[in-house]
């Protein structure tokens, strides 16, 4: 999906009106009417098809645009299938149940949300993948919160905040490598510079989670005892059940491709599950890779926590992603996105306006297209030369791209990250978004720094070192 593929040259005001109508309609359907994202996005696609027809664009051209848009998400689709298998295999091997057991042991007292935020941040930083962190450790924490009679919604917000902090600051992260590469900044200089906005956002978020954390969870001791006893009775809590996540972390640190890493984590878990559940045949174990793990203990708390995963559980997410990317293909081919980009480039004169415009475009791309990578690529390519003319270093551009691009995607109900997180955590984006403090605060801090000039010294550009190759780490 590139600008050269457009078939229409439309006026920016017309593009803005179509975009506003599109976002307003989708937002109203999803947020106010609580329509499932598929129908809302399909309504947006129909709107764009009608617009294209009025503009006398052939249906063959429009169909090609949708196909090209969907094609760009094939890699993400495959990753989602592998993560679905990973979750179900980690349930059967006891990996996630052991995490749940340890989480209940660790955070059954005060400061629950703050601890969840911190732990997921550390894990996310270690493996460089927000979605993998949320799909594994995050699922355990949200499940444990239900057992502790603590809000799973706020817990989900803390999980998302911690996971995206880790993803944003990890040298293993795809978005971190992408932002530094697009801006022309050295990877580690980029990470170091992000600390100026990321650390304050982390501290503020941590304080808010401390304030919201329940003072005492003694009333939940009974539920905790039931969960711990149930997990032990299932024979799923073992120290060696953590081996798959160790394998996953090691391979991630060695920069092994995401699909290979997820495959190794799944295979090791399957071997463990056959050993732990000696009476289960191979066919049953393989079947759960598609249908997911089904817990039938009769204990409601246990069954709701463990009945998850499988390729089938990813179908909802995948269908939304393909629809959203198809809509993005239409937005490009009809010239709507290129027209909006052309306007923004002519409105830049001050550094504060430049920073704000870059952040605004990154946020807008997230809401219009729902694609995290495009929220970095489009503003990065659009404003790169303007940053140079303003005397700003490439690291300042890459920081804004991460602050307003990477961490905003999970707050969009129809985005790739938003749909995935809602699926695996069992909490809708609309519910957890107000509590994803880190994701909400980061864009605000980068805009404030832009207007105040904090950490934005002017300097001449210098050659920069090469970057670590980008890899997608869903």
Q: What is the pLDDT of residues 86-133, one digit of tens each?
A: 888 988 888 888 877 776 666 555 788 898 898 888 878 766 678 878
Residue 21's pLDDT band (cuts 50, 70, 90): very high
Other CB atoms within 10 A of residue 186 CB: 20
The sign of the dihedral angle between the CA atoms of 96, 216, 422, 407 is: negative
264: Cβ contacts below 8 Å, ≥ 6 apart? 247, 248, 251, 256
Please give the average per-residue pLDDT across 351-377, as a whole number.
Answer: 83
pLDDT at 315 over 50: yes
For 458, what's the count of Cα atoms within 13 Å in the CB-facing half-sphere? Answer: 9
Reduce the DSSP state of residue 46 to 3 states and report it.
helix
Give the range with max mean pLDDT: 153-157, 185-189, 238-242. Answer: 153-157
Task: Name the burial class of residue 167, with classes exposed (0-12), middle (13-18) and buried (19+) by CB atoms within 10 angstroms of its CB.
Answer: buried
Q: State the Cα–Cα distance between residues 377 and 8, nearest whole angstrom.
A: 22
User: Which pairs with CB-CB distance under 8 Å and at least 24 residues apart come from 452-457?
Assistant: 453/351, 453/352, 454/196, 455/193, 455/196, 455/197, 455/396, 456/351, 456/355, 456/392, 456/396
All structural domains of the chain with their residue ranges = 3-44+69-73+315-452, 77-312
For 228, what's the count of Cα atoms within 13 Å in the CB-facing half-sphere? Answer: 13
Residue 442's pLDDT band (cuts 50, 70, 90): very high
Contact indicator for 455, 395 with CB cutoff of 8 Å: no
pLDDT at 3 over 50: no
315: Cβ contacts below 8 Å, ≥ 6 apart? none
Kind and range of the H or E element at 460? Answer: none
Q: What is the pLDDT of residue 222?
A: 55
Provide the angle, in degrees to the nearest 10, between the axes of the packed helices 258-276 and 243-253.
Answer: 160
Lowest mean pLDDT among 166-175, 215-224, 288-297: 215-224
287: Cβ contacts below 8 Å, ≥ 6 apart? none
Q: What is the pLDDT of residue 2?
A: 44
Q: What is the pLDDT of residue 216?
A: 59
Give the range with max mean pLDDT: 46-55, 134-143, 282-291, 456-465. Answer: 46-55
């Amino acid at each position: 999906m590139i600008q050269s593929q457009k078939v229409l040259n439309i006026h920016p005001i017309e593009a803005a009106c179509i975009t506003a109508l599109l976002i307003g309609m989708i937002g109203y359907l999803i947020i106010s009417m609580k329509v499932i994202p598929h129908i809302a996005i399909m309504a947006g696609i129909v709107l764009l098809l009608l617009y294209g027809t009025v503009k006398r664009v052939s249906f063959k051209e429009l169909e090609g645009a949708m196909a090209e848009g969907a094609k760009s998400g094939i890699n993400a689709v495959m990753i989602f299938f592998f993560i679905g298998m990973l979750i179900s295999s980690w349930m059967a091997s006891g990996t996630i149940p052991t995490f749940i057991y340890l989480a209940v042991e660790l955070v059954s007292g005060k400061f629950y949300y703050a601890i969840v935020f911190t732990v997921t941040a550390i894990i996310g930083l270690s493996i460089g993948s927000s979605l993998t962190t949320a799909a594994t450790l995050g699922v355990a924490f949200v499940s444990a919160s239900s057992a502790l009679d603590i809000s799973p919604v706020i817990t989900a917000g803390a999980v998302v905040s911690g996971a995206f902090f880790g993803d944003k600051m990890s040298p293993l992260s795809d978005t971190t490598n992408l932002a530094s590469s697009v801006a022309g900044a050295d990877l580690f200089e980029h990470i170091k510079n992000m600390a100026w906005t990321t650390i304050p956002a982390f501290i503020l978020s941590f304080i808010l989670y401390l304030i919201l954390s329940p003072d005492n969870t003694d009333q939940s001791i009974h539920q905790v005892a039931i969960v711990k006893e149930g997990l032990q009775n299932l024979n799923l809590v073992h120290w060696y059940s953590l081996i798959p996540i160790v394998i996953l972390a090691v391979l991630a640190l060695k920069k092994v491709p995401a699909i290979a890493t997820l495959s190794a984590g799944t295979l090791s878990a399957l071997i463990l599950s056959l050993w732990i559940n000696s009476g289960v045949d191979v066919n049953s174990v393989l079947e759960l890779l598609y249908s997911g793990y089904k817990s039938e203990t009769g204990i409601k708390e246990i069954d709701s926590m463990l009945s998850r995963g499988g390729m089938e559980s990813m179908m909802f997410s995948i269908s939304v992603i393909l629809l959203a990317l198809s809509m993005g293909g239409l937005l490009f081919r009809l010239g709507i996105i290129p027209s909006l980009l052309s306007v923004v480039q002519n409105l830049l004169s001050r550094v504060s306006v430049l920073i704000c415009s870059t952040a605004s475009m990154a946020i807008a791309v997230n809401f219009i297209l729902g694609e995290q990578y495009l929220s970095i690529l489009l503003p990065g390519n659009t404003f790169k030369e303007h940053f140079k003319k303003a005397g700003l270093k490439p690291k300042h551009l890459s920081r804004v791209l991460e602050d307003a691009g990477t961490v905003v995607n999970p707050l969009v109900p129809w985005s790739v990250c938003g749909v995935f997180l809602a699926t695996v955590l069992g909490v809708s984006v609309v519910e957890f978004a107000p509590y994803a403090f880190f994701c909400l605060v980061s864009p605000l801090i980068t805009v404030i720094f832009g207007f105040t000039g904090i950490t934005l010294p002017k300097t001449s550009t210098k050659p920069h070192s090469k970057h670590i190759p980008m890899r997608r780490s869903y």
